[in-house]
Copies of this chain bind each other. A is one copy, B any other.
Amino acid sequence: MAKNLKLRAARAAKDFTQEELAERVGVTRQTIGAIEKGNYNPTVQLCITICKVLGCTLDDLFWEE
């Protein structure tokens, strides 16, 4: 899996640290870090929660051509 730079950019645009985003989403910092790094394959519910916190949609952050 590739790095998720769109997620990193959206997080930066809200000026959230990995830890702040993790708290709002309800997961650990490591989980956010691993998703940004492309280390794994989150569940769609987690993706939806992240999108809502960041004011984006699934296609914005997780779609790949």
**Chain A contact residues, CB within 8 Å of chain B:** 1, 41-45, 47-48, 57-59, 62-64
In the assembly, what is the distance between CA of A45 and CA of B1, in Å? 10
Contact for A62 among B42, B44, B64, CB less than 8 A:
B44
Report chain B residues within 8 Å CB of A44. 41-44, 47, 58, 62
Number of copies: 2
In the assembly, what is the distance between CA of A43 and CA of B41, in Å? 6
In the assembly, what is the distance between CA of A43 and CA of B46, in Å? 9
In the assembly, what is the distance between CA of A59 and CA of B60, in Å? 9
Contact for A48 among B43, B45, B48, B64, CB less than 8 A:
B64
- Output the least CB separation between A7 and chain B (Å): 11
